Amino acid sequence: MLFSSLLSVGGLLLPSIHAAPAYVPRSPLAVRDATTTPGSTRVLSQQPDFSGDVTKCEGYSVHSVEHTSTGGIWATLSLLAECSAYGTDIHSLALSVEYETPTRLHVHIYDTHLHQYQLDNSIFPRPNATLSGSEASHKSDLKFEYEEKPFAFWVTRKSDGEVLFDTRAKGIPTYDDTIQIEGAYSNYTVLPAHPLIFEDQYLQISSKLPTGANIYGLGEVIAGSGYRRNESATVQTFWTRDVGDPVDENMYGVHAMYMEVRYNEKLKRLQSHGVFLLNSNGMDVILRDGVIEYRAIGGTLDFYFLSGPSPNDVAAQYAHTVGLPQVMPEWSFGFHLCRWGYTSVNDTRSTVTRMREAGIPLEVQWNDIDWMRHYREFQFDQNYDPAEYKAFVDELHSNGQHYIPIIDAAIGILYNDSDSFDVYERGHELDVWMKNPDGTEYVGAVWPGLTVFPDWFNPNMQGVWNEAFYNFSQVVDFDGIWLDMNEPSSFVDGSATNSTISLNETTIVPPNYTPSSPPVDFPEGYWPNTSGLSGNATIGGSLTYGANGSAPKNEALRRDLSSTDMESAKRQIGGYIPTIPYVDEPPYPIRNQAGRLSRNTVSPNATHYGGLQEYNVHNVWGTMEEYATNNMLQALKPGLRPFIVGRSTFAGAGRKTAHWLGDNYSTFAYMKRAIQGVLQFNLFAIPMVGPDTCGFNGNTDEELCNRWMQLSAFFPFYRNHNTKQAISQEPYIWDSVRDASIKAIKARYELLPYWQTLFAEAAHGGAPPVQPLFHEFSSPTYLAIDAQFLIGPSILVTPVLQPNESTVSGLFPTSNGVFWVDWWTHKKVDTSGGENVTLTLPLGEIGVHVRSGSVILVYDQAGYTIADTREGGYGILVVLDGKGYAEGVAKVDDGASLPVTEQTCLTFTAKNRSCLTSAPNGNYTIGGKLKTITIVGVWKVPKKVTFNGHVMDGHKVKYDSQTGTVRIKGVEGDLSSGWEVKWW
């Protein structure tokens, strides 16, 4: 349909056209997967040439087997019988088995002709092997075994004899009945047979699991079951999409990795292992009792098995497999503030001023898409005049603060001959935008209206990206970049134009999703008709929560207390581009909750440089943007650690980016769910992660924001952000939130040397900075706990997650004599009645406890900025265990440089209830002095305290007999040198 008119908006001519008719797919997801009654119908094929019947498939047989120089094997597999379930059978496969490290086994099943897509090493660098030679298999803790006909394999951990992954169909349960997912019976849960299937657009493989398996990972997801996945009713889909934080659906990121944890009765401890499938195609992974099944719509079966055996071992082994996370700039651990709706430079500046007037530390100010002219990236809105914008950012920097703007994924096009946009024009000139199959530019629609999308495979794209940001930086000296909408998101289905449909002839209309009215929803129990739109916890002295007669509980809160040559040979070296017969509607319809694969994103038939289609690489689009942006920042600010926060991530993205948990909601349920998100991404080796604090969608209120500002202060990434038109939720809005925020941020800033140490260790060895309890305490008791979490091994956080409550029950592990002391008061937690302890935490307080036997380097005094805090010097916190012993390490560097060439590791040891020593090792000179030493667990008043043999003046030593705490002030010690403190 032709344009009926052109609408002039701010000098741009925009189309005013009739809406295109909605596309109705042949088998809508609602029909396939949303029935109210149980059934036995399998997932129907979307193409009539394929049966969708996997029971007719017989698998493959092994023919030739060769032992490789690396101790593994290489074999060929032949199809036993035609199958054609959801694609064309591939008759000949290759099997590669490589023992890469003592704890990692690589098993790869791929098509002999190498026509199936595999990620290039430039996108996903394969991990290096440390084992070589014919003895490699003997040095591994993993053992690969197989049956020849039909081919099946299993992987055993040799140290305890546990079979970790087992594809032998005879041992795997089948299911002909559906089971409920999200309240509806799902056909995807029918598992009628478990043959190995390898077709051009359908791969299937299953493994036996223990009954009641403890599975973690398989994300990105907000799982209704919590951090531990529902082992009997899960369908996890991997197809990135723009969606507001749904429960049990596919969303922004793809991480096809899981960790399984089993309790070993003989060893009396938890034993863990990991499984990672490297495949960038769309995929479903199904969990039912006793089975995990993979169903991919392309690619290969490229498995990495990780032996563990501890949970932290698995996390570290996975990080080494996908890439160790980047060390972060120290300033990025400060408090960040943003909202969609700072409509001008002055509006943003006013927020910064009010934060300082309220005394709430603000390290980083952000802007959402308000700064853009008509939401076009790199063009300035009239209320963000370049000169004024530059002056504002310069002010932030002069005050020791930082600035981050948003950049969305799509680039606005030119609407007519008088329109001008240098970024689009430069990209058009160098031909770097994604294409339609006919070679024309693919045109979708996002916030700017009709848009094109960067092609990260194009060798000229990096230059265009660098140039755009360089020009932007001449006005706005940004410190980091926020990458949103990079799934990539598109508000329409398909390309608006191609070689036969011009811009003037398109029938696609970009919808306007900009909020036009305030959201009316508030957290559960808040009644705006009575309480108004203030969000206050009390009005006229009465609680607003429950004023409508309903005080619901947080239903999301649940707790259960009870070899190189071979690698080169099997990649598509030379650039073979796969042919995809059914690129828009693959025969197997993965459970994409948006429905059609092109819905709300770029169509799978969109084409990249060289002819590669989006079908194969959709799930890595966002991560490739993050890589390009990281490269840009390193070129623009050489020698400094880049800071990028991206929404869509793929395995290995932590090497280049941080992540926030997306468009969440202002409810207590989503505050609780933020914990599972942080735990999940720490397992995925993307440790710098956190939610939109106080919630993005909807209206928050005083109580929720109070609790959430305190909780997020103990997450790695700490940002308050909300949507346009919602009530303001900056922490100065309510006095109680202001006070709670100041208290929590003070603790956070004091703990920054500890955070920096944990992230340095993650960047070097892969250990996750934030962990669930069972990572440190090897008991089944803690396997379901995701309402508490550990920061490293030494800090336990217990928040109040229920509305209208001032107490919370938490578990405080006591194995091996462990006890816990309160961070705020240094009082010991009373576990004489058991590990389940009820804490009294009125509004404005959060449970933070320090593990006995810990020594932690802290900053002595929290300042307004991190630079101020760092200049104030250091402190030491020691919590002696029952034997008078404690230990800890701290890794200190300048907090900014990349690569990290100068670093000093401090090793602290307290012993004999009377002595604390520090031993430095490294080449970084620590400038700040040691000001204060606090030792908890000294139960006799010390008569004398010495530092390096010099007696400390009595007025510098304070003793608290209630907590057994000795506090030594005015130390002025040199952390770069060894020192010793004694007390007796």
CB atoms within 10 A of CB 507: 15
> Can you read off the two tokens belonging to residue 515?
């909020």
Active site residue 972: no
Q: How many CA atoms lie within 13 A of 353 on its CB side?
A: 8
Contact call for residues 437 and 607 (beta carbons, < 8 A) = yes
* Segments in 553-620 forming alpha helices (H): 564-569, 614-617
* Segments in 28-121 forming alpha helices (H): 29-33
Q: Which amino acid is at 440?
A: T
The residues near 842 (Cβ < 8 Å, ≥ 6 apart) are 806
Cα–Cα distance between 370 and 590 in angstroms, integer? 36
Cα–Cα distance between 320 and 301 in angstroms, integer? 20
Marked catalytic residue, from 479, 484, 702, 881: 484
Contact call for residues 382 and 346 (beta carbons, < 8 A) = no
Beta bridge partners of 840: 807
> Can you read off the two tokens belonging to residue 700?
């928050």
809: DSSP letter: E
Contact call for residues 241 and 648 (beta carbons, < 8 A) = no
228: DSSP letter: B
Tell me, rounded to whole angstroms, the distance of Cα 905 from its chain centroid: 28
272: DSSP letter: E
Tell me, rounded to whole angstroms, the distance of Cα 176 from its chain centroid: 35
Contact call for residues 976 and 919 (beta carbons, < 8 A) = no
User: Would you tell me the crossing angle of helices 702-712 and 735-750 to the nearest 10 degrees?
Assistant: 0
Active site residue 385: no
Instruction: Map tokens 């080449």 to a residue.
Output: 923
Contact call for residues 327 and 355 (beta carbons, < 8 A) = no
375: DSSP letter: G
Cα–Cα distance between 608 and 920 in angstroms, integer? 51
Report helix, strand or coil for 175: strand
696: DSSP letter: S
Q: What's the CA angle centered on 32, arms 30 and 34, to 5 degrees?
A: 50
Report helix, strand or coil for 264: strand
Beta bridge partners of 6: 15
Work out whether the CA dihedral 759, 765, 766, 768 comes out positive or negative: negative
Cα–Cα distance between 199 and 92 in angstroms, integer? 11
Short-list 546, 556, 613, CA closest to 201 = 613
Marked catalytic residue, from 141, 302, 370, 663: 663
Active site residue 455: no
Given its phi and psi angles, is residue 494 left (phi above 0), alpha (psi -120 to 50 degrees) or beta?
A: left
Cα–Cα distance between 99 and 105 in angstroms, integer? 5
Marked catalytic residue, from 199, 370, 381, 487: 487
Contact call for residues 222 and 245 (beta carbons, < 8 A) = yes
Distance between first and last Cα of the chain: 89
Report helix, strand or coil for 828: strand
Residues with catalytic function = 484, 487, 663
